[in-house]
Amino acid sequence: MPEYDLRERPPAPIATLVVTNFENGKSISLRGKLDTGASISVLPLSALDLLELYPKGETAIVGYDGTRTVREIYYADLEIESVRLASVRLTTTPRDEMLLGRDVLNQFLIILDGKAQTFEMRAT
């Protein structure tokens, strides 16, 4: 079972995943924080150049603080816990890790064991 990242305050469930540009086959491995408060998954800006991803549109996003912004949308394949999700709609952030929002998390059965600081993700 994957463990929580104890460097986070408070400790948080972080999955290892692979992001692939399905147009050119370029892939990178990233850490992805499970974020049940996010409706859309968010890719680090630094991944765009590595994957050679280009925007496919825009969408309005309301942040955790209520701020509304317009962000570019990208599409990539994700592989999490040996499950491949095709053409996932993503936006970006200047953070170092990915945020896995409900658009991705709702594809899994997720068990968070906060006391043991472990979690499980299974395809449903």
Write down the pLDDT at residue 1: 75
Using one digit for the tens of pLDDT, what is the confidence trace for 5-49?
Answer: 999 999 999 999 999 999 999 999 999 999 999 999 999 999 999
Q: Which comes out higher in pLDDT, residue 1 or 114? A: 114
pLDDT at residue 26, as a whole number: 98
Q: What is the pLDDT, as a whole number, of residue 77?
A: 98
Give the model confidence (pLDDT) of 67-121 as tens digits. Answer: 899 999 999 999 998 999 999 999 998 988 999 999 999 999 999 999 999 999 9
| Domain enclosing residue 43, as ranges | 4-123
Name residue, tokens 């599409």.
75
Sign of CA dihedral 1, 40, 77, 20: negative
CATH number at residue 65: 2.40.70.10
DSSP string across 2-64: -BEETTSSS-EEEEEEEEE-TTT--EEEEEEEE-TT-SSEEEETHHHHHHT----EEEEEE-T
Q: How many domains does the chain have?
A: 1
